[in-house]
Structure 1
Amino acid sequence: MTTNRFLDGEYAPVRAELTEHALPVTGTLPDWLDGRYLRNGPNPIADVDPDTYNWFTGDGMVHGVRLSGGDALWYRNRWVDSPATERRLNRPAPDSAGRAFLHGLGANTNVIGFQGHTLALVEAGLPCAELSEELDTLGVWDFDGTVRSGYTAHPLEDPATGELHSVSYHFGLGNKVRYSVIGVDGRERRRVDITVGGSPMMHAFSLTESTVVIYDLPVTFDVETAASSAVPRRLRPIAELAMSAVVGRVPMPHLLSERLPRNRAGSLPYSWDPDYRPRVGLMPREGGDADVVWIDVDPCFVYHPMNAHEENGAVVIDLAVHDRTFDRDRTGPIDGGHRMERWTLDPLRRTCRREQLWDAAVEFPRVDDRFVGRAHDCGWVVGDEGGGLFGSLLARMGGRLGEPVVRRFGDGVFAGEFTFVPRSSDAAQGDGAVIGLVTDMANESTRLAVLDAQTLEDIAYVDLPQRVPAGFHGNWLPTASS
């Protein structure tokens, strides 16, 4: 019998949506923590084939904990509604308004707050969703009808302007990716299509005060996988020829891009391409396609930058770097080593200097979001000293080279991504708490950990009523002041 690590252990899905009030708290929750901690991630609503399942294709489920006045008021978990929830839960799917769902997939990657809205996000041209305060799906979110071709899992909010920046990809765009800016009115105010080398996966991007950073790296749309999943065997050669003629050259017609690929769970149509030219692009924020400066880099892949800033005419980025991904192992992002590096990109010399910041296998880097695009003094990562994505390790890394502050939770304990919450809006950088989910597999339990952001010592824990599967990204959404 074939096994799949992303369906077992810390990744094993839960099958129930719960609502529990008055959660047990160990320690003392700071009274300045007034809001919701939300975390999104894949959680298949029904059994899937372990031979084909890819972690990125699980149905989205958002888990949330409401904190206020030193109490943990509630825990909720809800699937993000999609055709899959409509079939299984008899709950209406949101109107996709002409946008394709991948195998019924609901937005499964990130969850953010923007201008009073709670948004569940996903990438690759798939629909994002708006959620209620209680995490019920309200409908597809398209920024008041101004973003109709899908969005991204990793937008960045400029702390100076409050605008939301993104770089989006979708195989139907051909050899383009799309930079967009959402204004504080919630509508797209700027859009630039950027020419890249083919049809790459572009999970995230970076932003400085004046520059957009585009990662054009060698994970690309896999025509063979898409065709084998989307059409009958006898028609696959024709489908491969048709997609090869379109993908990476010109935008795919809208109706066709809706129909392809309708993949089985796990048949993710992206894979490592050793022949693809890896490079990073630097574009002025108010520039266009012709203004991008491209800099070649060694083959690698970047899912998650920590932060970027400008320094002496260069762009300096701290980021988690994978040697490769989706090469031999197509079940998830675990194919090859990964570590934190610093890249210094010189646009005049068109060079990239890479420095290893730490040799530990760490990922999911986060920074004090008030300093996005600016020089940062600290950031937080999680990892596994055995080389996996998740383990018992949480670390605070300085903005300059130096020894990290490390917290280890113990054997059989898995720490998910931690996010920083400032003590107040005007607190010094890094003055506050980091919050994240910690799961102890010995008793199949998960707690919300609230730790001192500098020392990583315990402040408080909230016991949750069920184990939360290892997932992707979470954020703190503070309660809006009246």
Structure 2
Amino acid sequence: MGGTSYVQAGGYQPVSYEATVSQPEVVGQLPQELNGTFTRIGPNPLGARDARRHAFEGAPMVHAVRIQDGRAQWYRNKWLRTDRVCSRLGELPAPGPRHGLSDDAGGNLIQHAGRILAVGDGGALPVQIDTGLDTVARVDFDGTLSGGFSAHPEIDPLTGEMFAVSYYHEPPYVRYHVIGADGRVRRTMPIAVKAPPMMHAFSLTERYAVFYDLPVAYDPAAAAAGSRVPYRWRTDHGSRIGVLPREATAPDVLWMDVDPCYVFHPLNAYESENRIIIHLVRHPRVFDSEPLRPGETAPTLWRWTIDPRSGTVVERQLEEQAEEFPRIDDRYKGSYNRYGFAVAMSPCGSGGYLAGPGLLRHDLALGRTEVHEFGPGRETGEAVFVPRSHDAAEADGWLLSLVYDAERDRSDLVVVDTGDFTGEPAAVVQLPLRVPHGLHAAWIAA
């Protein structure tokens, strides 16, 4: 694969076994309103570790903590039953169709149309799991999905429809999908691009889809060398974003150039006075000098203001603090939001790329940021927000995240009340083992 190797240590070390822990100890009081399952997914290699493996490669593992009636009922981890995992464990392959070079759907977890789905990039099909984390089957939405899917679909909180942009290295286009609230694809539209890009995410507003065609693209040399993530920084690819009406009948995308960068994760996008406002985490460069992990430049919060009438984009940096894994109150997806959350990342080059020492809360209206610090030797991954009630004010509720404690080599599920964001956690579920830093987290409501 080319590039510098790196060693996984501390909170990045994978675990070598599946486990279930009943009634883990809780410090503090879990809110009675929290009834559901906190889940997180990420690569967890099965067997010998390879220091030259890409950070996004490896058998996907799901971790979960079940909370009900003020108690932590259990913690559990399970490998997603991909073909490679089934082969290593001596199990029969999971049912369902196949697509792409890999079935490692270990990028994200979503709940839609009665299914809990593990999803990934690069052509992988979704994998359905049950509430106990057992793999059910690969899913092509009842035969309506052509090709692979996406690690970052967006669900419209008003209609229940799911939108996605999928990419694969073979065709000269990406696919724009609309999945109905019934869990079946009702539209698929090809969007022409140059070299196949790693279009990890996109943005959705009330009327538009916004595509990020940025300079991380398919690299035939990396593929020939055996990489299962054959995408690299390519200065010849250019940087542009595209705007398409959500219900367009033809792929007439308005493309606009932006400064070279990469975006894994937008915070949110919405429309205001005939403009599209996007808050996002912007990396100046990734997968160039560090081809195996996205850690060579510091990602920071930016605002992009798009004027579709003039075809222009105004780019403005909002924060100096490095951050990643932005989240909002999902009830406000695609509409105006005042607050955003993110992981405060360690300085570039310090070894971290999936976790950091604290959580951030951005007040985008006042331009103010607060920090919840977890203390020395402790690192958190992505947090999920759960509202206090269905009609609670925006961002009034709890943030849940897994925090690794280097001194104990153990992890905790920490619950932060947003009413006292910088104060002591409302509750800490103490786990008797390490949960490796992973990718995305989700709250599966009971």
Task: Give me the TM-score of the superposition, normalised by structure 2.
Answer: 0.95
Aligned to 1:223: 220
Q: 2:84 corresponds to which residue? A: 84
Q: Pick one of 261, 272, 281 that aligns with 1:300.
A: 261
When residues 414 and 4 of structure 1 are mapped into structure 2, their CA distance, relative to the original with a 3 A threshold, is farther
Match of 1:371 in 2: 332
Aligned partners of 2:276 and 2:338: how far apart in 1? 16
Aligned to 2:428: 461
* SS of the residue 1:84 aligns to: helix
Deviation per residue, 1:417-455 (Å, 9 max, x gap)? 011101111111111101110111111010001101243
Which stretch of structure 1 is more off in the superposition, 106-115 or 71-80?
Answer: 106-115
Shift of 1:373: 0.2
In structure 1, the residue matched to 2:110 is 112
Match of 1:478 in 2: 445
For 1:289-438, what aligned pairs fall within 5 Å after superposition?
Answer: 289-387=250-348, 388-389=352-353, 390-438=355-403
Partner of 1:63: 63
Instruction: Tell me by how many angstroms 1:207 deviates.
Output: 0.3
> What is the CA-CA distance between 1:343 and the residue it aligns to?
0.5
Structure 2 residue aligned with 1:41:
42
Q: Could you say if the C-alpha distance between residues 453 and 376 of structure 1 is closer, same or farther in structure 2, counting changes exceeding 3 Å?
A: same
Show CA shifts across 1:387-423 (max 9, x none).
3432212110012251201111122211100111011
Aligned equivalents of 1:49, 1:290: Cα separation in 2: 42
Contact 1:305 1:318 in 2 (8 A): yes
The question of whether the paired residues in 2 share the 8 Å contact of 1:357 and 1:401 is answered with: no
SS at structure 2 position matched to 1:224: helix
Identity %: 41
Query: 1:290: Cα distance to partner?
Result: 4.1
For residue 205 of structure 1, what is the aligned residue in structure 2? 202
Deviation sequence 1:250-281 (CA, Å, 0-9, x none): xxxxxxxxxxxxx4xxx521000011121000
Structure 2 SS opposite 1:57: coil
CA displacement, residues 436-475 of structure 1 (integer Å, 9 cap, x when unaligned): 1011111101000110124323110111231110110011
Q: Which one of 122, 125, 132 corresponds to residue 123 of structure 2?
A: 125
Are residue 166 (structure 1) and residue 164 (structure 2) matched?
yes
- CA distance in structure 2 between the partners assigned to 1:29 and 1:212 by the alignment: 38
Aligned 8 A contact 2:344 2:357 in 1: yes
Question: C-alpha separation between the residues in 2 aligned to 1:311 and 1:277?
Answer: 28
8 Å CA contact 2:100–2:148 kept in 1: the answer is: no
Could you tell me how far 1:4 is from its partner in structure 2? 4.6
CA distance in 2, matches of 1:137, 1:219: 31
Structure 1 residue 49, shift from structure 2 partner: 2.3
1:90 Cα deviation (Å)? 1.5
Q: Which moved more, 1:285-294 or 1:215-224?
A: 285-294
Which stretch shows the higher mean deviation, 26-35 or 448-457? 448-457
* CA deviation map 1:347-405 (0-9, x unaligned): 12211111111101100000000000000010100022423432212110012251201
Give the letter aligned to residue 283 of structure 2. Answer: H
Residue 7 of structure 1 aligns to a residue whose secondary structure is coil
Q: Is the 8 A contact 2:106 2:119 kept in 1?
A: yes
Q: How far apart are 1:108 and its partner, in Å? A: 1.1
Contact 1:112 1:119 in 2 (8 A): yes
Are the counterparts in 1 of residues 269 and 335 from structure 2 also a CA contact under 8 Å?
yes
Q: Does 1:147 align with 2:145?
A: yes
Q: Is the 8 A contact 1:96 1:127 kept in 2?
A: no
User: Helix, strand or coil: the match of 2:368?
Assistant: coil
Q: Is the 8 A contact 1:303 1:320 kept in 2?
A: yes
For 1:278 and 1:342, how far apart are their aligned partners in 2?
16
Indicate the residue corresponding to 2:73 in structure 1: 73
* Distance in 2, Cα, partners of 1:189 & 1:290: 16
**SS across alignment from 2:247:** coil
**Is contact 1:302–1:321 with CA below 8 Å preserved after alignment?**
yes
Compared CA separation, residues 343 and 455, structure 1 to 2 (3 A): farther
Residues 408, 450 of structure 1: alpha-carbon distance in 2 compared, 3 angstrom cutoff: same
Question: What residue identity is the alignment partner of 1:11?
Answer: Y
Distance 1:171 1:3 in 2: 24
Residue aligning to 1:182: 179
Structure 1 residue 6, shift from structure 2 partner: 5.8
Deviations 1:311-347 (A, max 9, x none): 1111100000000110011111112221010110111
Structure 2 residue 27 is the aligned partner of structure 1 residue 26: yes
Whether contact under 8 Å (1:101, 1:127) holds in the other structure is no
Partner deviation per Cα, 1:61-117 (whole Å, 9 max, x = no partner)? 000010000000011100000122122211222235242342xx5321111211221
- Bigger fraction of residues in helix: 1
Q: Contact (CA 8 Å) 1:81, 1:92: kept in 2 or not? A: no
Q: Distance in 2 between matches of 1:419 and 1:98?
A: 30
1:208, distance to aligned residue in structure 2 (A): 0.2
1:194, 1:288 within 8 Å by CA — same for their partners in 2? no
Q: After superposing the two structures, state which structure 1 stretch, 110-119 or 467-476, moved more.
A: 110-119
Residues 43 and 106 in structure 2, CA contact (< 8 A), matched pair in contact too: yes
- 1:359 and 1:92 map into 2 onto residues whose CA distance is 50
Counterpart residue identity of residue 427, structure 1: A
Which runs of 5 or more structure 1 residues have no equivalent in the other structure? 230-262
Confirm or deny that 1:277 pairs with 2:238.
yes
Q: Distance in 2 between matches of 1:472 and 1:43?
A: 11
